Structure 1
């Protein structure tokens, strides 16, 4: 398996070319943003203390925020300028910040801070996982909630699997093919996109390198931040949603 280079991509850089087709892909494969927002909102209201503000970190193109904005005062953070450009067109009234989840600082706290769609996996080492969880925690007010959707665990990752999607949308045919590999504690996804229209065919290549962390390592990162997290097994893709209350 060959890669464009051996250096891990900067957080967010994997979406530099595909940001413009990201929403088409996930609409085509049926990602249920509306259902996820309903689930998370219900969870926040059941566990929180009348939450009214929400920060979504690794907010991508703003699909979760688009549902949350009807209920909460929302802001977003993402490491990709290209993804944020799409999000800003969708949510022109929302404050959206470019930043690294390990180090961004907004100068305010929120009732709920979320990091969804397994974006925490872009932390490739345990120390970076700890730094990210600690920084997310700093942005949660006392009594608020931190929600982090995990990436796949080490024993569940399979090497050499190939997945493909073919999506027809607006006169365009989009083909996405991904192949899995592994390097120590990193999951590797070579992802190719072909975007064909009446006048041209474009090819985008992305390398996604994501850390494979055990449940103990996720719990350890929360514990290091002074939190005790519960693991929800039913949310989203079933990879595990870690939920913790910040008690100060």
Structure 2
């Protein structure tokens, strides 16, 4: 899981520069629409694997958010950005808060689940926290049907002279297993102009729509898939949505 990666450990403070919150606005709007597909008015939302809170920056304008993540350092970043939101440290596979929400949201942190067992456990967590009539929205980076080798890059600069740039390269070394590989290279610039280069390998889970549908249904959800493109040149991306019967 994410605790094994420097991105979410000692490098967490760099996250607002590596992947600036403004970059999440369009996707957060799509997620908000998916959350609103619930059969009840959505006000209270639990986000599992909330990371640095960059989706929350946008979603909190519409919803009351509870943000849960495994990494205390990422939660610290999120608290600075979203002080009005409740933050909880916990693992999406077994978190139990003892209360329900109108909707549950899991962004790309779900990609760090590499087995059907872990994915099923997280879906069960979402179901346990979802009110009857509510919805759970999962946004993995890829499903088997949408996966294609790709590269990505980004980053930004702070007001204090610090800056970050990243390059990511994702491919599938073995099509017969349930994960793909992403190589990340970070270039980090400190206030004094000194720089550090970091390389890190991540494993990202890859499951087909049939697996998602089966596991969502087994948990008690009514499953559906929404496939979207950000632009004409962008790869398709699946949102997996589970509606909890009222």
* TM norm structure 2: 0.84
CA deviations on 1:137-173 (whole Å, 9 max, x unpaired) are 11101111111112323465456x6544464544344
CA distance in structure 2 between the aligned counterparts of 1:166 and 1:86, rounded to whole angstroms: 16
2:207 corresponds in structure 1 to: 213
What is the correspondence of 1:1-248 to structure 2 with a 5 Å cutoff?
Answer: 10-14=1-5, 15-27=8-20, 31=23, 33-116=24-107, 118-154=108-144, 157=147, 163-165=152-154, 167-170=156-159, 171-181=161-171, 182-183=173-174, 184-197=177-190, 198-234=192-228, 238-247=236-245
Q: How many residues are paired up?
A: 235
When residues 67 and 196 of structure 1 are mapped into structure 2, their CA distance, relative to the original with a 3 A threshold, is: closer
Q: How far does residue 235 in structure 1 lie from its aligned partner after superposition?
A: 6.7
When residues 172 and 126 of structure 1 are mapped into structure 2, their CA distance, relative to the original with a 3 A threshold, is: same
| Contact 2:140/2:238 (8 A) holds in 1 | yes
Unaligned runs of 5+ in 1: 1-9
Unaligned runs of 5+ in 2: none
* TM norm structure 1: 0.83
When residues 165 and 61 of structure 1 are mapped into structure 2, their CA distance, relative to the original with a 3 A threshold, is: closer
CA distance in structure 2 between the aligned counterparts of 1:150 and 1:18, rounded to whole angstroms: 23
Q: How far does residue 122 in structure 1 lie from its aligned partner after superposition?
A: 0.8
RMSD: 2.5
Q: How far does residue 96 in structure 1 lie from its aligned partner after superposition?
A: 0.8
| Contact 1:189/1:209 (8 A) holds in 2 | yes
Q: How far does residue 81 in structure 1 lie from its aligned partner after superposition?
A: 1.4
Q: How far does residue 204 in structure 1 lie from its aligned partner after superposition?
A: 2.8
| Contact 1:12/1:78 (8 A) holds in 2 | no
